Chains A and B, each alone.
Chain A
Amino acid sequence: MRGTFLAAAIFIALGVIAQGFWFPADARISLEKCTLCHGKPEFRKILVDGKIRDLFATADSLKGSVHEKKTCVDCHFDVSEIPHRQRPQRVTCTHCHYKGNAEGAPQSDAYLEYFGSVHGNAIAGGNTKAPLCQDCHGNHSIRKTKDPTSEVSRGNVAETCGRCHIEIYAVYKTSIHGVAVSQGIPEAPSCTGCHGEHKIYAHKDPKSTVFATHVAAQCSTCHGSVSIMSKYGIEAEQVTTYQNSFHGVASGFGSRTVANCASCHGVHDIRPSEDPRSMVNPKNIPATCGKCHPGANPNFAVGKMHVDSHSKESGIIYYTAQFFKYLTIGTMLALIAHIFLDMYGRTRRLRGDK
Chain B
Amino acid sequence: MGEEPRSPVTVERMSVLFRVQHILLMVSLLVLAVTGFALMFHDNWLAAAVIRLEGGVLYRGIIHRSAAVFLMAQLVYHAFYMLCSREGKRELREVWLTRRDFDDFFLAMRFNLGMDSKYPRFGRYGYKEKFQYWGATTGVFLISVTGIILWAETFSMRYLPKVVLDLTLIVHGYQGLLAFVILLFWHLYIVHLHPSVFPMNRAWLTGRVDAEWLRQEHPAEYEKLKGEGVI
Contacts and interface: CB of A to CB of B under 8 A. Distances in A.
A350 B1 contact: yes
Interface string B92-114: 00000000000000001101111
Contacts of B188: 339
Contacts of B112: 341-342, 344-345, 348
Contacts of A303: 161-163, 166
Contacts of B1: 350
B158 interface: yes
Interface stretch (A29-37, A114-122, A221-229, A320-328): A320-328
B51 interface: yes
A297 B112 CA distance: 59
Contacts of A344: 112
Contact of A302 (B48, B161, B174): B161
The winner among A249, A289, A353 for most chain B CB atoms within 10 A is A249
B202 interface: no
Interface stretch (A15-23, A66-74, A89-97, A330-338): A330-338
Interface in A300-330: 300, 302-305, 307, 309, 314, 316-317, 320-321, 324-325, 327-328
Contact of A255 (B57, B158, B166, B170): B57
A345 B111 contact: yes
Given A252-B42, A307-B166, A293 B181 contact: no
A299 B157 contact: yes
A314 B195 CA distance: 47
The winner among B56, B170, B182, B216 for most chain A CB atoms within 10 A is B170
Contact of A341 (B109, B181, B195, B196): B109
B69 to A, nearest CB: 19
Contacts of A293: 153-154, 157
B142 to A, nearest CB: 13
Nearest to A252: B42
Interface string B137-168: 00000000000000001110111111100110
B33 to A, nearest CB: 14
A249 B181 contact: no
B26 interface: no
Contacts of B23: none
A316 B164 CA distance: 10
Contacts of A3: none
- List the 4 closest A-B pairs by CB distance, nearest first: A303-B162, A345-B112, A324-B174, A335-B185
15 contacts: A249-B57, A250-B58, A253-B48, A258-B57, A300-B158, A303-B161, A304-B162, A324-B171, A328-B174, A339-B185, A339-B193, A341-B109, A341-B113, A343-B193, A346-B194
Given A250-B58, A350-B1, 6 more contacts: A300-B157, A332-B181, A335-B186, A348-B111, A348-B114, A353-B216
